[in-house]
Structure 1
């Protein structure tokens, strides 16, 4: 933070009379001082590392992101980040490298805070050779970002730590919001006060609607005969089933659920952001549960993929909020590019896995990550996608329309985005939709379009889960075009 200094009075100095000899001495002294104060010329590739994004307030801790605009990988181990106070210092961890075009965000909040009028400065190891700096006079809202990455000017943009900056207009990727692609009317789709608060992610599997509740439960819902859903009353599902980590311990904060092509018989995959028994610590994991058998009231995960270490740090309640699964065959056919290799995605590079890629949305940053989760427990990140939203609350792959739904809650006014794989092999924004005109700005953390088999007259049902249980109802039903 800026130091506060008391104003100092000025003392008038007597004019200095300089003889030619004194003038020469002074001149040579000033020249030497100018040489000492001149910026140090940095040799490439060190000069290719740039401060790329700065976050000073909002849904994540104070953070500074670096970008490599060069053509060679740079080892930034031991480099120093500072604010405008020289006594502040964050040291980049050992073993940190940046490949060409790569970004890496660092949570500096534990070392120093970034104020509303402050600077972010990057130094070589030792902290005396300045590499890059950026100053501002107002907090980020939510991010100060370079556009284009690494070379452009800083401006206010959507938060995209760990991913390419959102350089579209208004954080919308250049696409203006349009009306909801379906009916404007929305109706409740559950009984009164069945679930209470905290109902989050949804996934429809034919006549079953799976729902994750972040109090540590998974629900199996069946149709109620009136266009809505009720809890399944068989096999121990009446009040939902309590989730546990492998071994039977803990209380996973389950925020989202999805299935693979194998359906429920292949297990349900739940995205979690922390262990409720240690709620102050992030634990960004995907847990697999056997949900096709058993009559007990709890489920113990058969496998955990803990991805925390490989992702930018976020608050313990701002982690994984969304999950969806896309088949390998679909990704290959669309020319999807694997960021871990820089080449077209080749599923054969990976050992046995689910036959697809899991995409996970982070609430705190609005970033979507694609991971191959291998049966062995290994995981490889194959995609980093800037959603352009300040938070991602739900993801759904809709096979019928070959589009990825990226959903925000009342933080973003209930906007929905769709993305498709573009010519470069990366997911690109396709459309931005306002919420249905008949739905209030609810805390919708779940979203699930029904399957193609329910398309009638060009539209089909879609469902939302309201985390706040507004008016005693957590589920709502609307329509979208097929």
Structure 2
């Protein structure tokens, strides 16, 4: 009878305790073993697949990431992942191919857990030919990552499941200087908003702002490079937000629009109902912001996504939202995680013509959803931002890149991600905040469109949740 061991300090089948996990090469020479037990044509490319990162603590499920360091794609269908117990086994789904230079993370938590002193092992189909392994004696904090990817040694690093590793001084790619001007200036009047201004989104001559207190602002240009509240149609003091039916107080953290602009509604990310602040309620809410003159907005639709996501603290949930057009995703070869195949918008009913990405503050994870008009929601992406928290997301169409922004928790770091050859989002760059900006509690970030480029730069804006020195909005520049 097979005994499944659960040593002290280990976790078995514990999906509510999440950790990301990436694995490294032990000193085993897999190529020799593969040559004896597999066809010669398979041995060489198989030897190019390496465990790349292991995370055993944190806000996501225990996962193992693989990296293809070779020059040809490798079909890893049926390959086996194990911990230090031979009775544990996770089988890579059929149809899984790693392109050259691609990474892929696998959630193994439903098959086994990874402890503080454990091992991650990769086998060819059948589970007898060892390809790679990594052993550790303490939990990741938050990640055990190989640097450079696929070839280097393992060390402690930031969580980057599904993206190239970021090991800082450990040998990976460290943050770069801000790709724009170093100076930053205030862009609002004194004490206009107070604290809790969070998500931002620029729509031409309008800047939309979400405030945690359940309020949405419509801002217009003030004539001196900054923004002031619109005084028309009931927007003077912002509009109070309600859930469908007119009740509750959404903890509104992020706001975005689709290609339809304001006429298509404003989409707000909310992490809880302020009237029940101890309970997480991870929702996307749609509001009609193009009509009406009242001071209150009642959501025309709510997509409550709480049940399908890992549990987080009630004040550590959805903090950011952005939208990417279907046409952009299909042209880039985006892979739908719900099918493992190329994203096909026609699979879904009527929706907003794109995918909404929402960022979780407590884990730094970004999730992509198709939100159908009828109320259905399908998760099509799970993306590691590489940071401990995500406070803002912005899709920049001109550069075809996703901005993920962290506040003073990460010292104002900004990460950009692009759709890689494997169809998933991979880290493109990591930037420090502008040298002229203090380490503020910036929970909002907005980029101007390409038509505002002048002298090679365009404006960008940050929202400071703490209203430092009486100002909540600051302005800088970004290279076009």
Fold-level match, TM-score > 0.5?
A: yes
> Is the contact made by 2:162 and 2:424 (CA closer than 8 Å) also made in structure 1?
no
Are positions 1:303 and 2:301 aligned together?
A: yes
Secondary structure of the corresponding residue to residue 195 of structure 1:
coil
CA distance in 1, matches of 2:119, 2:264: 49
- Whole-Å separation in 2 of the counterparts to 1:171 and 1:314: 30
Displacement of 1:225: 0.7
Distance 1:148 1:280 in 2: 42
Tell me, yes or no, if the aligned pair for 2:279 and 2:314 is still in contact at 8 Å. yes
Structure 1 distance, partners of 2:219, 2:384, is 32
Shift of 1:234: 1.1
Q: SS of the residue aligned with 2:387?
A: coil
Distance change (3 Å), C-alpha of 1:444 and 1:355: same
SS at match of 2:180: coil
**Count of residues in Structure 1 that have an aligned counterpart in Structure 2:** 396
2:136 and 2:435 map into 1 onto residues whose CA distance is 41
Other-structure match for 1:351: 349
Distance 1:148 1:169, change over 3 A: closer
- Tell me, yes or no, if the aligned pair for 2:155 and 2:167 is still in contact at 8 Å: no
How far apart are 1:158 and its partner, in Å? Answer: 2.5
**Counterparts in 2 of 1:207 and 1:337: CA distance versus 1, 3 Å:** same
The 8 Å contact of residues 322 and 395 in structure 1, kept in 2 or not, is answered as: yes
Of 408-417 and 255-264, deviating more is 408-417
How well do the aligned residues superpose, as a CA RMSD in angstroms?
3.7
Aligned to 2:338: 340
**Structure 2 partner of 1:65:** 62
Identify unmatched segments of 5+ residues in structure 1: 4-50, 75-95, 108-113, 123-131
SS at 1:55 equivalent: coil
- Aligned-pair CA distance for 1:71: 4.5
Residue 362 of structure 1: aligned partner:
360
**1:218 alignment counterpart:** 216
Mapping for residues 375-390 of structure 1, pairs under 5 Å: 375-390=373-388
1:412 to 387, 410, 413: 410
Q: Closer, same or farther in 2 for the Cα pair 1:454/1:277, shift >3 Å?
A: same
Query: What are the Cα deviations for residues 192-223 of structure 1, in whole angstroms up to 9, with x where unaligned?
Result: 11111110000000110000001111100011
What does 1:202-217 correspond to in 2, within 5 Å?
A: 202-217=200-215
Partner deviation per Cα, 1:295-323 (whole Å, 9 max, x = no partner): 11111111111111111111111111111
Q: CA deviation at 1:52?
A: 5.4
Contact map agreement 2:155 2:170 (CA 8 A) in 1: no
Q: Note closer, same or farther for the CA distance 1:255–1:158 as it changes in structure 2 (3 Å cut).
A: same
Counterpart mapping for 1:130-141 below 5 A: 136-137=137-138, 140-141=140-141
Matches within 5 A, 1:282-293: 282-293=280-291
Structure 1 residue 384 displacement after superposition: 1.1
| 2:246 corresponding residue in structure 1 | 248
| Structure 1 residues 428 and 143, CA gap change in structure 2 (3 angstroms) | closer
Aligned residue in 1 for 2:185: 187
Partners of 1:181 and 1:192 lie apart in 2 by: 28
Residue 400 of structure 1: aligned partner: 398
Give the C-alpha shift of residue 343 in structure 1: 1.2
Do 1:166 and 1:173's aligned partners in 2 also have CA atoms closer than 8 Å? no
Structure of larger gyration radius:
1
Aligned-partner SS, 1:331: helix
Q: Is the alpha carbon distance of 1:172 and 1:319 closer, same or farther for their aligned partners in structure 2, counting shifts above 3 Å?
A: farther
**2:444 aligned residue:** 446
Aligned to 2:322, what secondary structure does the other structure show? strand
Displacement of 1:176 in angstroms is: 2.5
Residues 203 and 209 of structure 1 are in contact (CA less than 8 Å); yes or no, is this contact kept in structure 2?
yes
Partner of 1:470 in structure 2?
468
Shift of 1:153: 9.4
Secondary structure, counterpart of 2:62 in structure 1: strand
Structure 2 CA distance for partners of 1:405 and 1:2, relative to 1, 3 Å:
same
- Per-residue CA shift, 1:371-430, capped at 9, x if unaligned? 111111111111111111111111111111221111111111111111111111111111
- Tell me if the contact between 2:147 and 2:167 (Cα under 8 Å) persists in the aligned partners: no
- Alignment of 1:196 with 2:194, yes or no, is yes
Q: Which residue of 1 aligns with 2:40?
A: none
Aligned runs of 1:20-99 on 2, under 5 Å? 53-55=55-57, 65-66=62-63, 71=77
**5+ residue gaps in structure 2?**
1-6, 10-52, 67-75, 81-89, 95-103, 121-132
Report 1:307-318 matches (<5 A).
Answer: 307-318=305-316
With the length of structure 1 as denominator, give the TM-score of the two structures.
Answer: 0.73
Q: Structure 2 vs 1, CA of residues 71 and 425 (structure 1 numbering), >3 Å: closer, same or farther? A: closer
The answer (yes or no) to whether the contact 1:119–1:133 under 8 Å persists in 2 is no
Equivalent residue, structure 1, for 2:3: none
Is residue 167–residue 173 contact of structure 1 (8 Å, CA) maintained in 2? no
2:241 and 2:296 in contact (8 A); partners too = yes
Deviation (angstroms), 1:174: 3.7
User: Is the 1:166–1:386 contact (alpha carbons within 8 Å) kept by the matching residues of 2?
Assistant: no
CA contact (8 A) 1:208 1:221 kept: yes
